[in-house]
Structure 1
Amino acid sequence: MTTDQITAFGVRFKVQIDDVELGLFTSCEGLGAQVVLEQRQEGGNNGHVWQLPSRVTFPNIKLTRPLTRDTERVARWISHLGGGVRRYTGQITAMTTDGTVVAQWNLLDVVPVRWQGPSVATGTTAVLTETIEIAHHGFLGGGN
């Protein structure tokens, strides 16, 4: 599928945490990784500074969508965290509106960080949205 075809169809992000499907989201921010570099200066060598890789960090992922019936799934999943937060595996699948899978990311040690439900004010015509933010410790093999 070409980029033009993907743009024409639009992309949605299906989110599943362990065996709980949280539904489709319209926005996904933060998928990525960064290698942290430590700088070391070598005595007597003024020509450059050594850039030594030390660790890989992964930013939090923020998923947003308009308010739907799936909001209840997220609320139920979040309500189970009262008994203690544990780490999950997760999967984010980018797909077109006709269901064609564009890409898939499998996540290791997913931890919910924040859920922001809709803010409601009388007299406004804005679309109600919800946002969920998750942290993770990297990507699992397969599907990436």
Structure 2
Amino acid sequence: MTANGVARDVLGSFRFDVELDGMLVAGFSDVQGLESQTEFEEYREGGVNGYTHRLPKGTRYSQIVLRRGFSSSSALWDWYDQTVRGTMTRKSGSIILYRQDGEELCRWNFFEAYPVKWSGPSLDARSSDIAIESVELVHNGIKAIFNRK
């Protein structure tokens, strides 16, 4: 509870799903890159010495990194390989975060993404770690949608 009596959700970061082109893609162990930064330009106005104007120029979005346990599915590799061969397929998608009760809390939609990097698993016969593959996506923006139930 906050000071004004409103209940506050404190959420774990482990209840999430990934959708690509409307299809639920299960099994990602982590997602990184839900990030945007607005660039600005400084402008000094003559006669105004107390501050400098800062005017927005544009917004940049970080690459989204999706990691999952390596499996017999070649879907991520195939998508990346299309880009390598010059026939890239853009996909829009969502990262969906859930409340403890399983209800959707927030959805970050990203638009017209395609893979620019694929990483295969690190292999070590002396380790019992899970084999992980990852794909990095560039995209044309993020929009957050909050379910305020």
TM range (shorter): 0.7 to 0.9
Once the two structures are TM-superposed, the CA of residue 78 in structure 1 deviates from its matched residue by: 2.8
1:114 and 1:78 map into 2 onto residues whose CA distance is 7
User: Which one of 121, 139, 143 corresponds to residue 118 of structure 1?
Assistant: 121
TM score, norm. by length of structure 1: 0.76
| Structure 2 match to 1:76 | 78
| Structure 2 match to 1:50 | 53
> Kindly tell me: are residues 129 and 73 of structure 1, through their superposed partners in 2, closer, same or farther at Cα, counting changes over 3 Å?
same
Once the two structures are TM-superposed, the CA of residue 76 in structure 1 deviates from its matched residue by: 3.2
Instruction: Tell me whether 48-57 or 89-98 shows the greater mean CA deviation.
Output: 89-98
Runs (5+) with no aligned partner, structure 2: 1-7
TM score, norm. by length of structure 2: 0.74
Which amino acid is 1:30 matched to?
G
Once the two structures are TM-superposed, the CA of residue 66 in structure 1 deviates from its matched residue by: 2.7
Once the two structures are TM-superposed, the CA of residue 116 in structure 1 deviates from its matched residue by: 0.8
Does residue 139 of structure 1 match 2:146? Answer: no
1:87-142, Cα deviation, whole Å (9 max, x unpaired): 32122222479854332122112121211111212222222212111111113586
Does residue 15 of structure 1 match 2:22? Answer: no
Runs (5+) with no aligned partner, structure 1: none
Which amino acid is 2:94 matched to?
Q
| Structure 1 match to 2:31 | 28
| Structure 2 match to 1:2 | 9
| Structure 1 match to 2:4 | none
Which amino acid is 2:50 matched to?
G
Once the two structures are TM-superposed, the CA of residue 60 in structure 1 deviates from its matched residue by: 0.9
> Kindly tell me: are residues 104 and 53 of structure 1, through their superposed partners in 2, closer, same or farther at Cα, counting changes over 3 Å?
same
CA RMSD of aligned residues (A): 2.9
| Structure 1 match to 2:111 | 108
Q: Secondary structure at the match of 2:16?
A: strand
Once the two structures are TM-superposed, the CA of residue 50 in structure 1 deviates from its matched residue by: 0.6
